[in-house]
Amino acid sequence: MSRPPKTTYKTTNWQSYNQALRQRGSLTVWFDPSMQWEAIPSGRRGRQQTYSDAAIQACLTLKALLGLPLRQATGF
């Protein structure tokens, strides 16, 4: 069984297409420079936390706002 031919689209309004491409990739995220990213050692037994609670909450907020899976939000 053969596949149907791939649909080709013809762009007729290049100005709006190029503008949409420029707007699609612009995302600016500002963080407070005084925010502590590394966790403070707890002094208890076991593995210490790597990131602070504020850093984890910032990652989870980006996850919820952008609708990303956790792995993509962490890499973002």
Cβ 56 vs Cβ 38: under 8 Å: no
Whether pTM exceeds 0.75 = no
Model confidence pLDDT, tens digit, residues 16-51: 887 877 777 667 778 888 888 888 888 888 887 888
How far out from the chain centre does Cα 13 lie?
30
Model confidence pLDDT, tens digit, residues 51-63: 888 888 988 888 8
Q: Which two tokens stand for residue 60?
A: 């989870």
Q: Which two tokens stand for residue 53?
A: 């609670």
Whole-number CA gyration radius for the chain: 22
